[in-house]
Amino acid sequence: MNILVFQQFYTNSKEAGISRFSIFADEWAKQGIKTTIISGSINYMAGEKKRNSAFKLFWKEIEEDNITVIRVYASSVGYRTFIGRVFSYITFIFSAFIAGMFVEKHDVVIASSPPIFIGFVAYAVSFFRRSKFVFEVRDPWPDVAVALGYVKSKTIISFINSIARLFYRKAKLIIVNSPGLKEYLIGKKGISENKIGIVLNPVTTTPLNSKKIAEEMRTEMNWNNKFVVIYSGAMSAVYDFDTILNVAKKLSKYPKILFVFVGDGRQKSHIIERVKNEKIANVLLLPSVSYQKVKWLIASADIGIAVLKDLSTLKHVYSTKTFDYMSAGKPVVLAMKGVNADLICRDANAGICLNPGDSHGIEMAILELSNNPNKLDKLGKNGYEFAAKNLSARKLSTDYINLLKPIVVPQRKSN
């Protein structure tokens, strides 16, 4: 099977953040499945352009056994603004279409959304190259953008919804990364249940017996006498960093508790400003680092935290950083409603779940875990075991291929 993926913000393990298709492609390559990924020239988290992107419309970044990654031009003008981001989407579409028409024919063409507009290029290439079109939905667009106030015009909202309906209709298969998104598409968009498959985001578990490396990093970071609460990943608008900072201020009277933020994004400047102006001394801000390094930073911490804004659309999605926490054997303090809370606290019993904005509850959860090493250890092991069993790259990559086979095999038989 040959697979072509369009994902504008693809990243590999050596970059800040990691794409699910980086992990899937590695697993598929072992099975002889060829994967070509066409992606943009800007790192989503850091907002940095790739080298050579100013000089070429597209170029091969990686070409190895069964995996090819092609980078294409996308505008970085005003990238941190909503209008700039949309312009980046549009320029990517044109560049990606040209690149897509030059690669070999594939059995399946996957559009990984958001952004929603990526469906245009994937569907067009699948149409002209006579491949099967698969639409992957990782966020409930445009509902999230509307809830955050980025899109207010009813005309634009109606237009985006029309685009989404077109892709839902044209796709041979729709793949989502949470059961909540499947319910959302069935209930809100009227999509047939039989057309939707679920594949969660995979993780690579950090071996629990690798404590030596974690201890060395704790020493390097001067965390030996600290109880470290870590947030890792994109500092995007859906996260409620003000609540975390408010909790940090209240817990500043406990010298051993340290809050560490690792990553980048549009809210980072706000976090820096608050920490500086309010002199929140128990907060450490670290830049974006590779996925490989961030896993060791998480392994060196004591608990992971994720606090999302109280938006009804978010109850359908997973905060995938919570998967990273579990895969490193760290308990999760999660302030979020919906499927993510169900997975962490009901299915995995891997943390403490609270309502969005519950700063007092978050404060009490951190204090409880810092004073109860047995519970800390138990929740961490529960999460690790759940991740190893249900979120492994091997299992989920196989699940993905099993969803694709029914739409690919008939096509091959007819050729």
Q: Rg for the chain (alpha carbons), in Å?
A: 21
CA-angle at 43, arms to 41 and 47, nearest 5°? 105
Is the model more confident about 140 or about 402?
Answer: 402
CB-facing half-sphere around the CA of 102: CA atoms within 13 A: 13
Confidence band of 65 (pLDDT split at 50, 70, 90) = confident
The yes-or-no verdict on residue 270 having pLDDT over 60 is yes
Q: Distance between CA atoms of 13 and 72, rounded to whole angstroms?
A: 19
> Residue 208 pLDDT > 70, yes or no?
no
User: If pLDDT is split at 50, 70 and 90, which confidence band does 271 have?
Assistant: very high
Whether the upstream peptide bond of residue 406 has omega within 30° of 0, thus cis, is no
Strands 58-64 and 67-72: antiparallel
Q: What domains can you pick out in the chain, each with its CATH number? A: 2-202+392-414 (3.40.50.2000), 211-390 (3.40.50.2000)
Least confident of 14-18, 144-148, 409-413: 409-413
**Cα pseudo-dihedral 353, 358, 362, 365, rounded to 10:** -60
Mean pLDDT, residues 279-304 taken together:
93
Q: Could you read off the pLDDT of 307-339 as tens digits, one per residue?
A: 999 999 999 999 999 999 999 999 999 999 999
The bridge status of strand 34-39 relative to strand 58-64 is unpaired
pLDDT of residue 53 exceeding 50, the answer is no
Q: Is 90 exceeded by the pLDDT of residue 204?
A: no
Cα dihedral across residues 308, 309, 315, 318: positive or negative: negative
Summarize pLDDT for 215-224 with one digit per residue, the tens. 889 999 999 9
Please state which of the ranges 112-116, 268-272, 328-332, 355-359 shows the lowest mean pLDDT. Answer: 112-116
Q: Please, which pLDDT band fits residue 78 given cuts at 50, 70 and 90? A: low
Tens-digit pLDDT profile for residues 16-45: 778 899 999 999 999 999 999 999 887 655
The pLDDT confidence band at residue 211, using thresholds 50, 70 and 90, is confident
- Tell me the per-residue pLDDT of 233-258, one tens digit each, with 9 for 90 and over: 989 999 999 999 999 999 999 999 99
pTM exceeds 0.85 for this model: yes
Collect all residues with Cβ–Cβ distance below 8 Å to 147 and sequence separation of at least 6: 311, 312, 313
Where does the pLDDT of residue 73 fall: very low under 50, low under 70, confident under 90, or very high at 90 and above? confident
Average pLDDT score, the chain: 91
